[in-house]
Homo-oligomer: A and B are copies of this chain.
C-alpha cells in the first residue's frame, strides 16, 4: 500500500509549519504502508495543482494531508470539507477569497473516506490528545481537502483520502499566552499511529 502524505509551508507570518515538520519525522515505512511525502504551498491557487499532480505521478492507494490548526489542543482527523473558501488572513500569494465556492456547482461538502474514528482512537492509544473534528475551516486546509476528495471521487474512485489537523508547535506559542501546543515529535507519532490503521473501515458515511 502506498500513501501520499502531505504537509504545508509556513503561513500567516509563522516561520515554521508543524505539519511539514511532523510529516518529515514520520517513518517512510509503517507496517505494509510505504509513505511518500510532499510539501504543499499554502496557496489557494497552487496547492490543489501540486497535490493532484503528485497523485497523478505517484498513483497512491491513499492520500493523507496534514495541516496546522492554531488554537486546537488535540490532533484532529477531519470529517468533512465544505465547498467554501473564506479567508480571514491572506494566503502565501496574498489571496484572501471571501465566500467563494471551491468548485462552482460542486457538492456542498465531501466526507473524508479515511477512517476518522479509528484514526483518532489510534492516536489516543499512542498517548497523544486526539479528537475527530467536524470542520477543517475555510482556509487553504479545507480547500485542499475538498479538492482532494472531489478529485478522488471523480478520477480515482478506489483511492481513500483525508486530512489531519495538528496543534501549534511549542515554539510558535511563546508569544501567545494560553494557546495550546504539541511537541512536533508527538504529532509525528500521532500521524504514524493514524497511518497504521488506515485500512480500517470508514465510519458509516
Taking beta carbons and an 8 Å cutoff, which residues of A are in contact with B? 71, 73-74, 79-80, 82-84, 86, 88, 98-101, 107-111, 117, 124, 127-131, 134-135, 137-138, 169-171, 173-174, 177-181, 183-186, 203-205
Contact = CB atoms under 8 A, between A and B. Distances in A.
Contacts of A108: 80, 107-111, 205
Contacts of A124: 170-171, 174
A112 to B, nearest CB: 11
Contact of A82 (B79, B117, B171): B79
A178 B109 contact: no
18 contacts: A73-B178, A73-B179, A73-B181, A74-B173, A80-B82, A84-B205, A98-B204, A99-B117, A101-B204, A101-B205, A107-B109, A127-B169, A129-B170, A129-B173, A129-B180, A130-B170, A131-B177, A134-B137
Given A74-B181, A183-B186, 18 more contacts: A71-B178, A73-B180, A79-B84, A80-B82, A84-B205, A98-B204, A99-B117, A99-B204, A100-B204, A107-B107, A108-B109, A124-B171, A128-B170, A129-B180, A129-B181, A131-B177, A134-B137, A135-B135
A134 B107 CA distance: 16
Contacts of A205: 83-84, 99, 101, 108
Contacts of A84: 79-80, 111, 205
B183 A128 contact: yes
Contacts of A99: 117, 203-205
